[in-house]
Amino acid sequence: MKNFGLLILGIILGALAMYFYCCNDGITEPPEILKPAGLISSKEARTLDRAYDIRHKIISDSLFRNTKEKDNRSSWWSIEDIQNYINYAENQAGELGYTMDGLRLYLGAYPNSKDKTGLTTMFFVPTGTKNTSEGNMVPSLQGGNSNDILQADGLNKGGHGDPPSANYPQ
């Protein structure tokens, strides 16, 4: 009987320990916020934006001088759209046999049509490395450069600036 009592006490203590270990809602610490590489200040962003002015002027003066619309200088996506795209792209990359490791942002342009001038756009594509069965315990020797995942969907159609040709900051 003594051993049976100890068994019951052990089960109860084990259940309590598991409860506090697994079900500690609100007790966990928030994830650490890491500062990403490549951050720039607002002043540096202004400098980069102003340095692009001459290129934008050349493009606008040569391609869009006879149009009502001004060419885009920026694109905007909601946080929700970006997060949803990252989740979607990671899933699609896995289905295609890749490990997604980043996003690449491209400048592009819509084709001209009869009634519309093809303006500049920006779009994301996922990047990653092909999963292979050949393993290596040393991560730096596993791959090479991260490449675009060609079969994966990109993200386009962000909002444009207001007005489209507006400089930083808006």
Helix (H) or strand (E) holding 2: helix 2-22
Report whether 103 contacts 89 (CB < 8 A).
yes
Q: 76 is written with which tokens?
A: 């905007």
Strand bridging mode 159-160 / 147-148? unpaired
Report the pLDDT value the prediction gives residue 61, as an integer from 0 to 100: 79
**Residue 161: band (very low, low, confident or very high) from pLDDT cuts 50, 70, 90:** confident
Report the pLDDT value the prediction gives residue 142, as an integer from 0 to 100: 46
Distance CA 92, CA 68 (A): 39
Taking the model in full, what pTM does it have?
Answer: 0.69
Please state the φ and ψ torsions of residue 130, each to the nearest 5 degrees. Answer: -70, 130
pLDDT in tens, 3-21: 766 677 678 877 777 776 7
Report whether 93 contacts 149 (CB < 8 A).
yes
Report whether 153 contacts 124 (CB < 8 A).
no
30 contacts: CB under 8 Å, gap ≥ 6: none
Q: Is the pLDDT of residue 24 over 70?
A: no
pLDDT in tens, 110-159: 888 887 777 888 899 999 999 886 655 555 444 457 889 999 999 998 88
Report the pLDDT value the prediction gives residue 26, as an integer from 0 to 100: 58
- At residue 23, the 3 state secondary structure works out as coil
pLDDT in tens, 37-79: 888 888 998 888 889 888 888 888 777 777 777 787 888 889 9
Distance CA 170, CA 24 (A): 43
Report the pLDDT value the prediction gives residue 15, as an integer from 0 to 100: 75
